[in-house]
Structure 1
Amino acid sequence: MHSRDRESTRRRLLDAAFVEFAAYGIAGARMERIARIARCSAGLAYNYYGGKDELFDAVQSEVAGAAAVEFDARDLPGYAGRLYDLQHRHPELVRLATWQQLERRGGVSQAGDVEAIRAAQELGLVSSRFSAEQVLRLVLAIASMWSGGTGSLDHGERRRAVEEAVRRLVEP
């Protein structure tokens, strides 16, 4: 029973931290607020994670696993569409990723994705007008361009626009 209580507390802390970090970023998040939402003491939160940075890393690690979108360098329009769908369902993921970029140097490594794009470029499947790194950044930007609001298009129209924009970007 003791380990179940520990896991329950850990889960509540991660859930509360996800909401807090998505709303306030790392600098604005408060361990006391996270602990209150998780229904535990701030001291216990520090015992579990050591501090905000470690807790943010734990949230990022969990989100990366739960929010994984199948990456396929040979089908970047499909990847962009799947990523758009995920961000449409969970806009807080975009906020968390934005805080990661704003407050941490380097961000999450996507070297494997860049290498896959580079290989697809060498095979002539993806345009070489832009470097592999630029292609990945542009695809990510296009997939998330409606994350802050919906505009006048419905979800299906936005998804089709994302896929078409990426298709035109990467076509050889």
Structure 2
Amino acid sequence: MHSRDRERTRRRLLDAALVEFAAYGIAGARMERIARIARCSAGLAYNYYGGKDELFEAVQSEVVGAAMVEFDAHDLPGYAGRLYDLQHRHPEFARLATWQRLERRGSVSRVAEVEAVRAAQEAGVVSSRFSAEHVVQLVLAIASMWSNGTCSNHLERRRCVEEAVRRLVEP
């Protein structure tokens, strides 16, 4: 019973932190608000995660990471479409990524994706007109450009995302 309560509290903290970080970013988020939303004390929130930075990392890895789509360097248009779908369903994920880019410059590591694109370029599957690093960043930008989650022409935009990436990477 005790471990279930701990897990439930931890989950409430993660869910509350997702809302708080998406709305206010890392710098603007407040542990007291997160604790209030999670219906626990701020002291307990600090006991679970130590501080905002650790809690933000937990949200990124446990909440966002669990929902992320599989990267496929041999099907970048499909990957971009799936990423667009995810951000359409969960615009708070796109906001978290934006806050991370704004507040933690250079901390996002996409080494595995870059290496996969580089290998696909060497195999002739992906164009080499841009560096592998630039291809990854461009694909992410295209997939995220309509991430507000409120559009009536979702399928049309998804097709546009896929076609733009297809043209970007075609050899």
TM-score bin (small chain): over 0.9
Unmatched runs of 5 consecutive residues or more in structure 1: none
- CA–CA distance in 2 between the matches of 1:102 and 1:69? 23
Letter in 1 for 2:98: T
Is the aligned partner of 1:53 residue 2:84? no
Moved more, 96-105 or 62-71: 62-71
- Partner residue in 2 for 1:168: 167
- CA–CA distance in 2 between the matches of 1:90 and 1:149? 7
Residue correspondence of structure 1 range 10-159 to structure 2 within 5 A = 10-148=10-148, 154-159=153-158
- CA–CA distance in 1 between the matches of 2:54 and 2:149? 31
Quick check: 2:81–2:162 contact (8 Å CA) kept in 1? yes
- CA–CA distance in 1 between the matches of 2:112 and 2:39? 39
| Alpha-carbon displacement from aligned partner over 1:4-26 (angstroms, at most 9, x marks no partner) | 11111111111100100010001
TM-score normalized by the length of structure 2: 0.95
| Alpha-carbon displacement from aligned partner over 1:33-55 (angstroms, at most 9, x marks no partner) | 00001011111111111111111
Secondary structure at 1:79 match in 2: helix
Secondary structure at 1:27 match in 2: helix
Letter in 2 for 1:169: L
- CA–CA distance in 2 between the matches of 1:60 and 1:2? 26
Secondary structure at 1:70 match in 2: coil
TM-score normalized by the length of structure 1: 0.95
Secondary structure at 1:108 match in 2: coil
- CA–CA distance in 2 between the matches of 1:93 and 1:149? 10
Percentage identity across aligned positions? 85
- CA–CA distance in 2 between the matches of 1:150 and 1:60? 23
Unmatched runs of 5 consecutive residues or more in structure 2: none
| Alpha-carbon displacement from aligned partner over 1:47-103 (angstroms, at most 9, x marks no partner) | 111111111111111134322211111111011000011011100000001111111
Quick check: 2:89–2:149 contact (8 Å CA) kept in 1? no
- CA–CA distance in 2 between the matches of 1:67 and 1:133? 23
Task: Give the root-mean-square deviation of aligned CA atoms.
Answer: 1.3
